[in-house]
Structure 1
Amino acid sequence: MIRDFITHAAHRWYVYLPLTAIWIFALVRLLADPVPHLPVLFNVSPSLPFWIVRIDYHPTTLRRGDYIVYRFEGNACRYFPGLWHQPFLKRIAGLEGDHVTVSGRQVFVNGALLGYAKPYAVTKLPLAPIAPSVIPADHFYVAGTSPDSFDSRYALSGLVAKSQIVGLATPVY
């Protein structure tokens, strides 16, 4: 009986793979308070090139290029009230004292292009780029690798405060 089901599922993997992903996503959301205190986290978005990360909940230092898990507290919470429950996983691209500049809709940190701020979200919500500034103490500019990533290039997302950071993420797979 089990062998029959495995054969059935192997032939219809295209049905069972998305269902399994949905169940895993639901489990992660269920355990979130607001971020699950598990040793691993599953990345279900295309904003970073890996699916599973190990989390160090007590990082001593954070550097440019580190991946972090943080609680979302940006202005977008007023448009998406449940968003603060979602743990965000991004790469640190800007540190205290770095200069954020915007030319048109292109966003730069210390002169390095980090991305193009799209005019609209997938939901048709208008998006404005982050305002030019110097990153203040205990704040970080975070970025994803996807052009569709909702990261610090948008005013609604903004910079991430050190108090929002849950842990340092190390890619596993």
Structure 2
Amino acid sequence: MRNFLTHARQRWYLYLPLALIWALAAARIFIDPVPHVPLLFNVTPSLPYTVAFIERRTGVIARGDYVIYAFGGAATRHFPGLARQPFFKRVAGIEGDQVRVEGRRVLVNGIDVGQAKLFAMAGKLPLEPIEPSVIPPHYFYMQGTSPDSFDSRYRISGLVHASDVIAVVHPIF
């Protein structure tokens, strides 16, 4: 251990950036998507990417795009800390897509997008699946890749309005 510390002290310039990245990840901090800081550090299990390049929202958002959006769903009544919290998800449904619910299984255009859990991770808030519908204009169905992801599968989270989308994200790793 002493040899490593000596080595690290001599080559601090190599270890400092890594230490900063890990410190940000450990603190679960999202770097605000502003033009002079175009990186996102994701440490949640909702998507399998840790570092991503952020591009301010431009043009059309398509199915399959990764985005950051400001959460504005009904869950903010139960969890005020979620209000305007940036979420990092994949667009799984766009306007005109059909959302169906079979039991607790949610489908978008017939494609299985996940099973709605009974309760939030805290175990106290019951979760209901999203209402079956056609996605209206200017709304998106957002999806994480984790079964525990808090996404559009749930009525309390719901669809995301286009005005809440902050940026398109291009995963690096």
| TM class, shorter-length | 0.7 to 0.9
Q: Deviations over 1:63-95 (max 9, x none)?
A: 110000000000001111111242101001101
1:161 lines up with 2:165 in the alignment = no
Match of 1:10 in 2: none
Match of 1:132 in 2: 132
Change in 2 beyond 3 A, CA 1:5/1:98: same
Match of 1:91 in 2: 90
Match of 1:39 in 2: 38
Partner amino acid, structure 2, of 1:98: D
Match of 1:51 in 2: 50
Match of 2:171 in 1: 171
- RMSD over equivalenced CA pairs, Å: 2.4
Aligned residue pair count: 158
Tell me, in whole angstroms, the C-alpha distance in 2 between the residues paired with 1:98 and 1:111.
10
Gaps of 5+ in 1: 8-15
Q: Deviations over 1:106-143 (max 9, x none)?
A: 00011111000000111111100000011000000010
Q: Deviations over 1:1-25 (max 9, x none)?
A: 9944848xxxxxxxx89x72324x3
Gaps of 5+ in 2: 10-18
1:75 lines up with 2:69 in the alignment = no
Partner amino acid, structure 2, of 1:93: A
Tell me, in whole angstroms, the C-alpha distance in 2 between the residues paired with 1:114 and 1:86.
23
Q: Which has the higher helix share?
A: 1
Partner amino acid, structure 2, of 1:111: G
Tell me the TM-score normalized by structure 1: 0.83
Partner amino acid, structure 2, of 1:165: V
By how many angstroms is 1:170 displaced? 0.3
Match of 1:22 in 2: 26
Tell me, in whole angstroms, the C-alpha distance in 2 between the residues paired with 1:6 and 1:77.
45
Q: Deviations over 1:27-83 (max 9, x none)?
A: x3xx6xxx4423111111011111011111132111110000000000001111111
Tell me the TM-score normalized by structure 2: 0.83
Change in 2 beyond 3 A, CA 1:135/1:45: same
| 8 A Cα contact 2:53 2:171, kept in partner | yes
